[in-house]
């Protein structure tokens, strides 16, 4: 630390007045930083002290791990907030809806009087960059850094640079309709997650629509970008997966968006059948094709460590781990409408049905789960020997379920070398803290 402090002091003094902001570490991924969170906080504190002495006008920005690590963000903003002006997010691999939800959650902790900024490192532009860029602005990000530009990002910057987010309009499931204001002018950015659909969207006169390429859209057909049909019925617009910008929304839309924002942070609506907010539990029956009700595993079969093998045992569909191939985890995501960034509001009980072992202490498991202090393991559970199926429950009192690494928990069978773990079903129920 003495060497670090000396280096930071020399750098801050040498470049006084020439550097607007100092960021500590490029990111906190393992390839970039091998220390603990406490190590990082100590380094950050030293930077804050030395930069403040050398150049009080310079800002200090903290890095974060890739993804959207909400427990880390809360720790930094509540316990190390005096040592940073901004925190940089790296939403690699995250969907726009996930970014909006994470930013909305963080805004709720900080309240309207927050003095910390969120910045975003968008990496190289790719499909979905416009949606991420617009969602970040809607979520309160004040600076975005992209490793190169493409027409969609250039259009987004030109139309939304300096704009203020007003609110989001609910126009049905899987549809984003974000309203911004730039001075006296209002602007709507809209897209869907998959198929095109017609939505209510009144405009002043015929819709004035700009595509992601920056060109006005006036006819149907042509390039794949033309997912909006301005020639449709008055007061409606056909919106698709490619974002479009509507530059002449009716003033009533701005009022509606402001009223929606007053009710809470923006979210992209989900279909009623995907809303598990009032469900007593979520579950997944495992097999070649899972039956999933708010608990998702199938999407992780493409991950090498999660490529479990579908089997039929005792006439029941299930999956088994495959240690020789490295497939030792059964990964799961809990639907966000059921549990998201729990932060102590509930305990959760995970119930698993697994096939009994051929002999004692030949096969077992535990849960690796996204907690409020990073990923943690539950105690190891040996599977009873015998025939048929056994049911086990694991109670989690500190789950975050914020998908920090892209998943909420995994059934871990990495310690099983004698025979595979066979899992038939998994469910998750929530309980009040300390409740039964």
Instruction: Locate 361 and state its tokens.
Output: 């202490």
Distance CA(354)–CA(365), nearest Å, equals 10
Whether residue 12 is found in the same domain as residue 77:
yes
Query: Domains in the chain: how many in total?
Result: 3
Q: What pLDDT, on a 0 to 100 scale, did the predictor assign at position 112?
A: 54
Out of 271, 289, 319, a domain closes at 271
Distance CA(339)–CA(279), nearest Å, equals 11
Whether residue 202 is found in the same domain as residue 157:
no
Lowest pLDDT segment from 234-238, 243-247, 420-424: 234-238
CB 165 within 8 Å of CB 187? no
Distance CA(322)–CA(307), nearest Å, equals 8
Looking at residues 269-282, what average pLDDT do you find? 94
Distance CA(375)–CA(361), nearest Å, equals 25
Whether residue 156 is found in the same domain as residue 263:
no
Out of 247, 271, 295, a domain closes at 271
Whether residue 36 is found in the same domain as residue 154:
yes
- The CATH number of the domain holding residue 130 is 3.20.20.80
Domain that holds residue 357: 273-431
Distance CA(361)–CA(418), nearest Å, equals 9
Whether residue 75 is found in the same domain as residue 117:
yes
Out of 233, 252, 271, a domain closes at 271
Looking at residues 181-207, what average pLDDT do you find? 92
At residue 204, does pLDDT exceed 80? Answer: yes
Backbone angles phi, psi at 52, to 5 degrees: -65, -40
Model pTM? 0.87
Whether residue 320 is found in the same domain as residue 425:
yes
Residue-wise pLDDT for 362-399, tens only, equals 999 999 999 999 899 999 999 999 999 999 999 999 99
CB 146 within 8 Å of CB 122? yes
Residue-wise pLDDT for 87-104, tens only, equals 999 998 889 999 999 998
Three-state SS at 210:
strand
Q: What pLDDT, on a 0 to 100 scale, did the predictor assign at position 227?
A: 46
């Amino acid at each position: 630390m003495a060497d670090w402090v000396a280096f930071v002091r020399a750098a801050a003094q040498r470049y006084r007045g020439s550097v607007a902001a100092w960021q500590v570490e490029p990111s906190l991924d393992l390839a970039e930083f091998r220390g603990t969170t406490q190590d990082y906080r100590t380094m950050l504190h030293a930077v804050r002290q030395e930069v403040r002495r050398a150049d009080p006008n310079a800002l200090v920005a903290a890095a974060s791990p890739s993804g959207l690590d909400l427990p880390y963000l809360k720790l930094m903003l509540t316990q190390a907030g005096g040592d940073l002006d901004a925190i940089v997010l790296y939403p690699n691999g995250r969907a726009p809806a996930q970014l909006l939800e994470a930013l909305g959650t963080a805004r709720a902790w900080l309240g309207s009087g927050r003095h910390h900024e969120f910045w975003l490192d968008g990496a190289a532009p790719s499909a979905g960059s416009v949606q991420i860029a617009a969602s970040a602005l809607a979520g309160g990000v004040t600076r975005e850094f992209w490793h190169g530009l493409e027409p969609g990002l250039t259009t987004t910057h030109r139309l939304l640079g300096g704009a203020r987010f007003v609110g989001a309009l609910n126009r049905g499931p899987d549809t984003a309709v974000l309203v911004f204001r730039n001075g006296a002018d209002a602007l709507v950015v809209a897209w869907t997650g998959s198929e095109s659909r017609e939505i209510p969207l009144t405009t002043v006169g015929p819709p004035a629509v700009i595509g992601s390429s920056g060109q006005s859209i006036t006819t149907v057909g042509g390039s794949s970008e033309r997912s909006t049909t301005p020639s449709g019925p008055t007061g409606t617009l056909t919106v698709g997966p490619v974002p479009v910008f509507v530059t002449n929304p009716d003033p009533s839309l701005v009022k509606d968006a402001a009223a929606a924002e007053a009710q809470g942070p923006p979210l992209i609506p989900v279909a009623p059948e995907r809303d598990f907010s009032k469900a007593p539990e979520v579950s997944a029956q495992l097999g070649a094709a899972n039956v999933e009700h708010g608990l998702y595993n199938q999407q992780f079969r493409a991950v090498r460590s999660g490529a479990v093998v579908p089997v039929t045992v005792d006439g029941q569909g299930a999956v088994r781990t495959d240690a020789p191939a490295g497939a030792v985890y059964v990964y799961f995501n809990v639907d966000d409408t059921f549990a998201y960034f729990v932060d102590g509001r509930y305990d959760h009980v995970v119930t698993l049905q697994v096939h009994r072992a051929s002999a004692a202490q030949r096969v077992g498991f535990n849960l690796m789960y996204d907690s409020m202090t990073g990923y943690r393991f539950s105690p190891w559970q040996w599977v009873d020997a015998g025939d048929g199926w056994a049911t086990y429950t694991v109670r989690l009192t500190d789950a975050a379920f914020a998908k920090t690494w892209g998943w909420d928990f995994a059934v871990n069978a990495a310690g099983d070398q004698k025979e595979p773990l066979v899992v038939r079903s998994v469910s998750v129920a929530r309980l009040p803290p300390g409740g039964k």
